[in-house]
């Protein structure tokens, strides 16, 4: 079996396979326990070179989805490789991101693949955010981790321990309380 997909260097279409994201995904999976079920080898990494995707007036930087069944068959026939998921990155929307933000973005997208309980037992599937984003990302990196040009820690750095990252101050610190005043 091939180690990576063969791509045409001079391709000028809208969608481009970009294997440069795979080592980031592999390293994140090795470092973060919550990514243990992510089948990195079964993800097709593509960049959308033209779209400036938005949803509800919010910029979409990337999205992960199950591979459509017809494309599973076609890609397998052409490459001999099978992909269960497709991670699409919108190049125009990430153009101003730092390397650290892109690593955080890949982490964010991989979090969508989790072990869930189904009627016939546990299975790996795509899940939605637990809030508008992942709670742990907002707590550690802040609400604007993807859109800000501020400092975002390199999640892959050897000296970065996710548990020790202190995110931005909360709107309501733990020691404060909200009281009903009559």
Sole residue written with tokens 């000296």: 159
Could you tell me the residue range of the domain that residue 83 belongs to?
15-164
Is residue 48 within 8 A of residue 15, CB to CB? The reply is yes
User: Is residue 160 a part of any domain in this protein?
Assistant: yes
User: Is residue 137 a part of any domain in this protein?
Assistant: yes
Digit-coded pLDDT (tens) for 128-139: 766 566 577 777
Please determine, for residue 97, whether its predicted confidence score (pLDDT) is greater than 50.
yes
User: Is residue 176 a part of any domain in this protein?
Assistant: no
User: Is residue 177 a part of any domain in this protein?
Assistant: no
User: Is residue 103 a part of any domain in this protein?
Assistant: yes
User: Is residue 2 a part of any domain in this protein?
Assistant: no
What is the rounded distance in angstroms from the CA atom of residue 137 to the CA atom of residue 28? 14
Tally of structural domains, the chain: 1
Tell me how far CA of residue 150 lies from CA of 82, 121, 136, 159, in angstroms: 38, 43, 18, 20
- Note the pTM of the prediction, 2 decimals: 0.78
What is the rounded distance in angstroms from the CA atom of residue 100 to the CA atom of residue 156? 9
> Residue 52: phi, psi to the nearest 5?
-110, 65
Helix extents (H) in 11-68: 21-31
Digit-coded pLDDT (tens) for 98-113: 888 899 899 989 999 9
Most confident of 85-99, 106-120, 140-154: 85-99
Per-residue confidence (pLDDT) for residue 28, from 0 to 100: 94
User: Is residue 5 a part of any domain in this protein?
Assistant: no
User: Is residue 102 a part of any domain in this protein?
Assistant: yes
């Amino acid at each position: 079996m091939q180690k990576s997909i063969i791509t045409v260097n001079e391709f000028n279409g809208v969608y481009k396979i970009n294997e440069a994201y795979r080592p980031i995904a592999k390293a994140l999976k090795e470092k973060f326990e919550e990514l243990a079920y992510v089948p990195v080898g079964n993800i097709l990494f593509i960049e959308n070179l033209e779209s400036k995707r938005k949803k509800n007036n919010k910029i979409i930087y990337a999205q992960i989805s199950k591979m459509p069944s017809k494309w599973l068959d076609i890609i397998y026939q052409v490459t001999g490789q099978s992909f269960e998921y497709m991670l699409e990155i919108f190049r125009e929307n990430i153009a101003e991101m730092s390397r650290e933000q892109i690593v955080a973005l890949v982490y964010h997208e991989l979090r969508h693949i989790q072990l869930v309980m189904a009627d016939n037992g546990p299975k790996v599937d795509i899940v939605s955010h637990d809030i508008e984003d992942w709670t742990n990302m907002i707590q550690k990196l802040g609400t604007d981790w993807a859109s800000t040009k501020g400092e975002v820690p390199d999640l892959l750095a050897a000296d970065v321990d996710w548990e020790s990252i202190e995110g931005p101050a909360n709107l309501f610190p733990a020691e404060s309380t909200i009281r009903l005043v009559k």
